[in-house]
Amino acid sequence: MTQIQCVVVANGRDFYYHVLHHPEEMPKDMEFESLLGVAREAYEQKNDEEFDYLPKFDYETFSNKNKWIE
């Protein structure tokens, strides 16, 4: 998930579906990068160990463009 996609998710279901159907309205000057670390932080707090995981696709490379619409 990119920082801009995090903005869409953080703004709720209605905004998500609005942008899904109107991609030209995807925010361009906003970010919500802190959402990217929520799962890691929750895991580490719950398990008292480091979250050691490398995703198959790096969100910063845009290497998974075919799956963005799904």
| Interatomic CA distance for residues 12 and 53, integer angstroms | 27
Domain that includes residue 47, residue range: 3-58
SS3 state of residue 5: helix
Q: Residue 32: in which H helix or E strand, if any?
A: none
Q: Does 70 reside within a domain?
A: no
Asked whether residue 68 is domain-assigned, the answer is no
Question: Would you state the pLDDT for residue 15?
Answer: 92
Confidence of residue 13 (pLDDT cuts 50, 70, 90): very high
Please, what is the average pLDDT of the chain?
Answer: 80
pLDDT, tens only, 35-68 = 778 888 999 999 999 988 877 766 666 666 666 6
Distance CA 52, CA 28 (A): 31
pLDDT at 18: 93
| pLDDT over 70, % of the chain | 76
Residue 65 lies in a domain: no
pTM higher than 0.85: no
What total of structural domains would you count in the chain? 1
d(CA 13, CA 4): 15
- Distance, in Å, from the CA atom of 53 to the CA atom of 4, rounded to the nearest integer, reads 22
| Both structure tokens of 10 | 């953080």
Inside any domain, residue 12: yes
